[in-house]
């Protein structure tokens, strides 16, 4: 076998091995998307009921709460960025990071100081590499987040907003995550978690025509709101974590599918080249033999003379 | 037909139980409260404790609920809890072990959680 043919054969073998791996990763990601979507659906009843309750207290009483009232001049804001622990998901992480950076730039332009909180090793690595300050970070659960994880993330954020701004607290909390629109579309979005604008929440709880009844609060409206709002934040973070996980798996699936397709194309073109090289080798051998016989025939013909 | 109310018991990550009931008893921060059909709209904070649901077919469902909310309006009652387990989902041996462990570690909240589980099972 000629040297060139051997090189082609070796490359085909290595690309085939890569293709097998990407194919397997694609299938794993596909099954995980379904699982993650199921978890998003399972968490929906709790989120809807909680939103209803928050709307009920917010509109049904004149309670003022630090978590629903906007500071007149907000000077510090917290940004929570949700990324994944592992890459191989196309532009998933860079899109989320880019969205967070745009949001940060906007907040800074509004004259606010920004604290960054990060979930996921990828986002953390991005910030550490650029030596930017990260207030707190979490990792290790982005593939399958549980409610306890969401609680862990929510605790320092709620603490920060309850603290006075002068003592290192924040006035606003923003969250940046990747919304799962469909298997093919995932978009990085940012939204403000706190202070809560009750009008927005009311809009979210779909049935707009519904008139909320006058609730009897047990023990009191303030206490109920006090207990409700942290839960509401946790539930929003939980939902964002789940959507981000589903998006990550969908992005991985798509990236791995195109990797598999590309590997297939590469194998086709490499085998064509290998075939051409083999043919060229054969042609050369034939012409060498023909040339050799012709030379021999010439030589013998010459000796006859 | 006796009056009924619709009950949804949902935990943070799943819907635990839903159906029709004639009476629901739950523990709020200011004491036990019983809700029957036609109760006035209510929104309360729940303590960790067992919730008893008397279903319309005469059965009883008991669940251990750890914190959360009760809300009632339009004959629909929702119980929201971060963690909620039906009494027949509770692993008694495990809860007992957790109870003993929490006692020896003097972990008050874990002890209460295990205690609520055990009470929910025995109330069934």
Say how many C-beta atoms besides its own lie within 10 A of residue A302's C-beta: 8
Residues of the domain holding B117: 90-123
**Could you tell me if B42 and B94 lie in one domain?**
no
Per CB-CB distance under 8 Å, the chain B contacts of A224 are 43-45, 69
Best CA proximity match to A195, nearest among A222, A161, A223: A161
Task: Let me know how long chain A is.
Answer: 305
| Of the listed ranges A184-193, A220-229, B12-21, the one predicted with least confidence | A220-229
Kindly state whether B74 is in contact with chain A, defined as any CB-CB distance less than 8 angstroms. yes
Cβ of A46 and B74 within 8 Å? no
User: A29 near A253, Cβ under 8 Å?
Assistant: yes
Does A208 score more than 90 pLDDT?
A: no
The pLDDT tens digits for A95-106 are: 999 999 999 999
Query: Could you tell me if the ipTM is greater than 0.85?
Result: no
Cβ of A223 and B29 within 8 Å? yes
Question: What does the pLDDT read at residue A214?
Answer: 76
**Could you tell me if B30 and B42 lie in one domain?**
yes
Question: What does the pLDDT read at residue A232?
Answer: 87
Average pLDDT over residues A113-140: 91
**Could you tell me if B9 and B62 lie in one domain?**
yes
**Could you tell me if B52 and B102 lie in one domain?**
no
Decide which of B90 and A37 is more confident. A37
- Comparing CB atoms, the residue among B13, B44, B45 nearest residue A42 is B13
Pairwise CA distance, residues B113 & A66, whole Å = 30
Average pLDDT over residues A154-161: 87
Strand, coil or helix: what is B16? strand
Burial of B21-60, coded b for 16+ CB within 10 Å and e otherwise, reads: bbebbbbbeeeebebbbebebbbbbbbbbbbbbbbbeeee
Residue of A nearest to B78 (CA): A49
Kindly state whether A237 is in contact with chain B, defined as any CB-CB distance less than 8 angstroms. no
User: A122 near A84, Cβ under 8 Å?
Assistant: yes
Pairwise CA distance, residues A227 & B69, whole Å = 9
Residues of chain B with pLDDT under 70: 1-2, 123-124
Question: What does the pLDDT read at residue B103?
Answer: 76
Name the minimum distance, in Å, from the CA of B14 to any CA of chain A.
5
* CATH (one of 3.40.630, 3.30.70, 1.20.5, 1.10.287) for A3-23+258-292: 1.10.287
Per CB-CB distance under 8 Å, the chain A contacts of B30 are 218-219
Cβ of A227 and B12 within 8 Å? no
Question: What does the pLDDT read at residue A210?
Answer: 59
**Could you tell me if B80 and B96 lie in one domain?**
no
Token duo for residue A149: 């994880």
**Domain with residues A27-256, CATH architecture:** 3-Layer(aba) Sandwich (3.40)
Q: How many beta-carbon pairs under 8 angstroms link A with B? A: 86
Per CB-CB distance under 8 Å, the chain A contacts of B80 are 46, 49-50, 53, 231
Does A66 score more than 70 pLDDT?
A: no
Name the minimum distance, in Å, from the CA of A241 to any CA of chain B.
12
User: Domains of chain A: which residue ranges?
Assistant: 3-23+258-292, 27-256
Per CB-CB distance under 8 Å, the chain A contacts of B69 are 50, 53, 224, 227-228, 231
């Amino acid at each position: 076998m000629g040297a060139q043919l051997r090189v082609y054969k070796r490359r085909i073998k290595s690309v085939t091995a890569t293709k097998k791996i990407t194919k397997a990763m694609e299938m794993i990601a596909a099954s995980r998307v379904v699982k993650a979507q199921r978890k998003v659906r399972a968490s929906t009843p709790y989120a809807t009921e909680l939103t209803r309750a928050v709307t009920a207290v917010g509109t049904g009483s004149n309670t003022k709460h630090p978590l629903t009232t906007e500071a007149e001049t907000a000077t510090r804001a917290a940004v929570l960025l949700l990324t994944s622990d592992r890459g191989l998901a196309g532009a998933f992480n860079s899109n989320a990071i880019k969205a967070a950076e745009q949001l940060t730039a906007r907040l800074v332009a509004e004259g606010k100081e920004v604290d960054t909180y990060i979930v996921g090793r990828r986002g953390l690595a991005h910030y550490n590499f650029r030596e930017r300050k990260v207030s707190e970070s979490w990792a290790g659960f982005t593939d399958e987040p549980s409610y306890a994880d969401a609680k862990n993330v929510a605790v320092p954020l709620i603490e920060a907003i309850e603290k006075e701004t002068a003592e290192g607290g924040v006035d606003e909390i923003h969250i940046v995550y990747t919304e799962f629109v469909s298997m093919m579309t995932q978009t990085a979005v940012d939204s403000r978690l706190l202070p809560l604008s009750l009008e927005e929440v009311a809009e979210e709880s779909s049935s707009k025509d519904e008139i909320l009844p006058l609730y009897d609060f047990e023990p009191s409206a303030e206490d109920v709101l006090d207990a409700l709002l942290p839960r509401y934040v946790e539930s929003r973070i939980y939902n964002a974590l789940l959507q981000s996980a589903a998006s990550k798996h969908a992005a991985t699936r798509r990236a791995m599918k195109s990797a598999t397709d590309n590997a297939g194309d590469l194998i086709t073109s490499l085998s064509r080249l290998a075939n051409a090289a083999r043919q060229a080798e054969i042609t050369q051998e034939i012409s060498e033999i023909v040339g050799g016989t012709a030379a021999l025939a010439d030589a013998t013909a010459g000796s006859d003379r | 037909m006796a009056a009924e109310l619709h009950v949804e018991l949902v935990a943070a990550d799943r819907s635990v139980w839903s159906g029709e009931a004639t009476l629901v008893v739950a523990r709020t921060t200011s004491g036990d409260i019983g809700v029957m059909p036609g109760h006035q709209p209510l929104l309360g904070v729940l303590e960790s404790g067992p919730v008893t649901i008397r279903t319309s077919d005469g059965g009883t469902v008991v669940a251990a609920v750890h914190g959360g909310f009760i809300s009632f309006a339009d004959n629909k009652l929702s119980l929201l809890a971060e963690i909620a387990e039906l009494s027949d989902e509770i692993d008694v041996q495990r809860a007992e072990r957790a109870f003993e462990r929490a006692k020896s570690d003097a972990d008050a909240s874990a002890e209460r959680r295990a205690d609520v589980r055990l009470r929910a099972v025995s109330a069934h």
